[in-house]
Structure 1
């Protein structure tokens, strides 16, 4: 057996916006299904039927989370795939009857999957991308959406909550504005919000909506796209009739079943989860404030995800703070972390390149204890003080 000294040190994960720990009940179901369910859920025999029952039960749980019909839920391998299916699938279906000058409205602070899919639509379909400026809080105001909508707008794409700065958008009001000013379809990226905020598709005028399993303590490798009845899409990959022909390929029923459990647990304890994570955020922020002045929070001060803190630490590059001892912190979206340029979200809300380079994204989750969060906050504050002291000493020595 390996020596204990080779075992990894427990790391406190403050990067929940990139992924959350699987709930123990979810993990139990995933492992059990992996061990016991070997058949393809598309097969027409008893084992295939049993696998399909697992998928159907999970589909029902996702539908219940969104107050939707089970027939309106399409599984994909991830939220990025679901976003692409929504945007490209809708525009490909409409490609032969798009009016001249057709436009897709989105914002400058969307996830890269949205922005790149919209740009791809310009190349493939001649669509005119119209980007809304969201101001210093990164929030889409309904009036700003109304100003760019017209009878040539065919699609609007907006996040329910921003994955970097945590700002929550008023999607119900945005949906009402869209329906009042255009015939456009509304696509909502709820990947970050699905685990914390109520989403009722009977009230919100979203035609397409994405939720992600691993952002709500489910397994990675599965997400869901809500497709409102009457909205038509074309598949964006070829090869089979699974998921009503919209996402061909064999479903991993273990991951899907785990997602279903995560959705049920979210529905049952969402408010408790919200309040716990919000309390953890307040404790963490109080600790970080002890590191000194010139530390600011980005995003909306009130309308934000409970576990999010986007913190700019003047004079301290985020690259020096991403892993402090046993604390893991991100500087931004995991999907963009390999890019060398500063965060497009931070630049869009008015931060300079220097400020963006000094910004951390904190993502807290319900599996963290108060002691872990306080210890992590104290460690971050201590490291900020140390680095600032070193910087001050270097400046004095250079005189």
Structure 2
């Protein structure tokens, strides 16, 4: 199996698994308990929290959550009254949650980037929160987050960054007030995320109970998941330059290998290079995936949230329904070799072209 679906999830790093194992086998204490095993578990969580914070701005706190979906819900529902401004290409966790508030959804251009003049006109007094994804999960486009955050601050609004796809992959601007991240996108375990909250920012809790996290999030933490997330974050920081360069090399090699009939969806210049979203006119993606079951990749026409809804992102950048249905998404990173990527692309290209011959 060649795995090319890094935007959906990443392989668990062996080091993260090793860090988790003792807390799954024998060190099972509740980190919120006062006895010695509980204090040891609490210390492990504290180490993990510091490791996760190492890839985030200073002057804020990491609040562990069940995942980025919870973190985004908490941020959006927890801010005070007022308008929310967000983008048409945001994840469903943002769009669906913001829809419960007074929200303005901004259009994006064909490259997936928001027009800053449009944003400036929409981010006006009375806005409570501006939310934008750092790296788009479907097309890899990088938004001008620092500029959007500055606009939010000018009118007294907070800025929320969905950094799930960007954390550990690209630099996160210091201007953010709230940052949502997820462990399993950086070779950590599933079931854990975090909301970084800038010092001085107060949110209404999403869930009530023990209030175990400093920001008010309730629930017993898993030392195993925290330890895995922490080590994954530490490695991502240590390998930041190497991982970034590797993804860029794979991206360039892939584009050079494919013919001009394959069209890149999203920006080529403002993009995380571990994401390759492509379309080929007339491609039957369902048939392609059936023919290549030993290659794991995504149908570009399906929303990456797993809801089964058509991709609102490809629609937002102006693709027709037919163009969206002829799109695929390939995601790669640290554990992808160039040889296996090129081998997969060769087979994908051959299978796609055979459809045209058969037609």
**TM superposition score normalised by structure 1:** 0.86
Task: Please show how residues 1-399 of structure 1 align to structure 2 within 5 Å.
Answer: 11-69=1-59, 72-90=61-79, 94=80, 98=81, 102-121=82-101, 127=102, 129-180=103-154, 182-200=155-173, 204-244=174-214, 246-289=216-259, 294-322=261-289, 324-332=292-300, 335-339=304-308, 341-391=309-359
Unaligned runs of 5+ in 1: 1-10, 122-126, 392-399
Q: CA deviation at 1:147?
A: 1.2
What SS class does the counterpart of residue 254 from structure 1 fall into?
Answer: helix
CA distance in 2, matches of 1:231, 1:184: 11
CA distance, structure 2, for counterparts of residue 26 and residue 223 of structure 1: 15
Q: Distance in 2 between matches of 1:205 and 1:198?
A: 12
**Structure 2: runs of 5+ lacking an equivalent:** none
Deviates further, 363-372 or 50-59: 363-372
| Rg larger in structure | 1
Measured after TM superposition, the shift of residue 244 of structure 1 is 2.7
TM-score (norm 2): 0.95
Q: In 2 relative to 1, CA 67–338 (structure 1 residues): closer, same or farther, beyond 3 Å? A: closer
| Native 8 Å contact 1:142 1:177 kept in 2 | no
Residue 164 of structure 1 and its aligned partner are, at CA, apart by 0.4
Cα deviation for residue 104 of structure 1 reads: 0.7
- Per-residue displacement from partner, 1:182-235 (whole Å, max 9, x unpaired)? 1111000000011211225xxx22110111111111111111111011111111
Q: Distance in 1 between matches of 2:175 and 2:305?
A: 30
Q: CA deviation at 1:169?
A: 1.0
The 2-side partners of 1:337 and 1:288 are apart by: 28
8 A contact 2:138–2:304 mirrored in 1 = no
Q: CA RMSD in A?
A: 1.6
Number of residue pairs matched by the alignment: 357
2: CA distance, partners of 1:63 / 1:372:
33
SS at the partner of 2:113? coil
**Secondary structure of the equivalent of 1:120?**
coil
Evaluate the alpha carbon distance shift between residue 179 and residue 195 of structure 1 in structure 2; reply closer, same or farther with a 3 A threshold.
Answer: same
Distance, in Å, in 1 between the alignment partners of 2:231 and 2:303 is 25
**1:80 Cα deviation (Å)?**
0.7
- The CA deviation string for residues 354-393 of structure 1, in whole angstroms up to 9 with x for no partner, is 11111111111110112111111111111111111111xx
Matched residue of 2:214: which SS? Answer: helix
2:43 alignment partner, SS class: helix
Q: CA deviation at 1:334?
A: 6.5
| Distance in structure 2 (CA, Å) of the matches to 1:221 and 1:12 | 24
Q: Is the 8 A contact 1:288 1:380 kept in 2?
A: no
**Which of the pair is proportionally richer in helix?**
1
> Moved runs in structure 1, 4+ residues, more than 6 A?
none
CA displacement at 1:259 relative to structure 2: 0.5
Instruction: After TM superposition, give the deviation of residue 337 of structure 1 in Å.
Output: 3.4
Question: What SS does the aligned partner of 1:244 have?
Answer: coil
In structure 1, what is the Cα distance between the partners aligned to 2:294 and 2:325? 22
